């Protein structure tokens, strides 16, 4: 029997936090009832911006006991698995578009003792995961083209989420279905109805004009 009301996790993305007081903002999101802290790593190659690396993950590790959900938007992520694991990552997600040897990269992540996730850009089909789906702890559906916070949710991704949810359920695969990009209190219920279980939100949590606590509550309240 499918869950009637599955538990929905919130993963605030620190990309939209105030970097000059990152530790404080991570602690605030944790107190507000976040489930994961989502860390967006960009290399200026796979995506245009350069953001943060393993030393920053190590620095925020002591400001929360929540799992650190590290989203690698980088080329050759396999070369960084060790650094991010040692820095304190709990989940490492790589982009399938950056990994011709994705099966090997997933094995490396798991051997490092952390959970393995794979992300799909908006233009990458669900079918590209077919062979590796049973090996994954998490699938990340990008609802914007990766690279920047504050973009608008691509509504066509709802159908993709529905199809992925159906495949996970049909094949009885327990990987978490996470959605990232453009999520706010208006979009969140639609994404959850489509089948998401983990919601990433940057702008809506850290740049809402309210406190982080109120922003998190608003998203939770939208889920009924
Ligand atoms: C985009 C990042 C997202 C981003 C989400 O490339 O992967 O995690 O921070 O930010 P919002 O919620 O503002 O779309
Ligand atoms: Zn992300």
Tally helices (H) and strands (E) across the chain: 8, 8
Best CA proximity match to 222, nearest among 10, 3, 1: 10
Please give the pLDDT value at position 185.
98
Contact 144, 153 (CB under 8 A): yes
Residue tagged 């590209």 (tokens): 128
Q: How far is the CA of 126 from the centre of ligand 2 (A)?
A: 18
Pocket test for ligand 1, best of 92, 157, 179, 200 (most atoms within 8 A of CB): 200
Query: Is 18 among the residues known to form the active site?
Result: no
Q: How far is the CA of 181 from the centre of ligand 1 (A)?
A: 5
Contact 193, 9 (CB under 8 A): no
Relative to the CA of 13, which ligand 1 atom is closest? Answer: 9
Nearest ligand to the CA of 117 is 2
Nearest ligand to the CA of 16 is 1
Query: Is 180 among the residues known to form the active site?
Result: yes
CA distance 21 to 90: 22
Please give the pLDDT value at position 6.
85
Pocket test for ligand 1, best of 181, 182, 187, 201 (most atoms within 8 A of CB): 181
Please give the pLDDT value at position 118.
99
Contact 180, 39 (CB under 8 A): no
Please give the pLDDT value at position 24.
97
Give the tokens for residue 158: 């709802």
CA distance 65 to 45: 31
How confident is the prediction along the chain (224 residues), in pLDDT tens digits per residue?
Answer: 555 678 999 999 999 999 999 999 999 999 999 999 999 999 999 999 999 999 999 999 999 999 999 999 999 999 999 999 999 999 999 999 999 999 999 999 999 999 999 999 999 999 999 999 999 999 999 999 999 999 999 999 999 999 999 999 999 999 999 999 999 999 999 999 999 999 999 999 999 999 999 999 999 999 99
pLDDT tens profile 43-70: 999 999 999 999 999 999 999 999 999 9
Sign for the pseudo-dihedral over CA of 140, 133, 65, 51: negative
Contact 186, 222 (CB under 8 A): yes
Nearest ligand to the CA of 51 is 1
Q: How many CB atoms lie within 10 A of CB 145?
A: 13
Catalytic-role residue among 40, 43, 69, 137 = 40
The per-residue b/e assignment along 153-170, b for 16 or more CB within 10 angstroms, e otherwise, is beeebbebbeebbebbee
Catalytic-role residue among 43, 69, 137, 180 = 180
């Amino acid at each position: 029997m499918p869950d009637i009301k599955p538990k929905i996790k919130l993963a605030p993305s620190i990309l939209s936090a105030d970097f000059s007081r990152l530790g404080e903002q991570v602690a605030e999101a944790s107190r507000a009832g976040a489930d994961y802290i989502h860390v967006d790593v960009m290399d200026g190659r796979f995506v245009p911006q350069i953001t943060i690396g393993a030393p920053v993950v190590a620095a925020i590790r002591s400001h929360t006991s929540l799992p650190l959900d590290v989203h690698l938007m980088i080329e050759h992520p396999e070369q960084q698995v060790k650094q991010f694991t040692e820095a304190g990552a709990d989940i490492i997600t790589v982009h399938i578009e950056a990994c011709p040897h994705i099966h090997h990269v997933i094995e490396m992540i798991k051997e490092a003792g952390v959970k393995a996730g794979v992300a799909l850009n908006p233009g990458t089909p669900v079918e590209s995961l077919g062979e590796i789906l049973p090996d994954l702890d998490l699938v990340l559906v990008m609802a914007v083209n990766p690279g920047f916070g504050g973009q608008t949710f691509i509504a066509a991704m709802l159908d993709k989420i529905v199809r992925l949810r159906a495949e996970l359920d049909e094949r009885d695969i327990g990987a978490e279905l996470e959605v990232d990009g453009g999520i706010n209190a208006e979009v969140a219920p639609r994404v959850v109805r489509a089948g998401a279980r983990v919601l990433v939100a940057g702008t809506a949590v850290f740049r809402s004009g309210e406190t982080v606590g109120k922003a998190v509550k608003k998203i939770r309240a939208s889920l009924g």
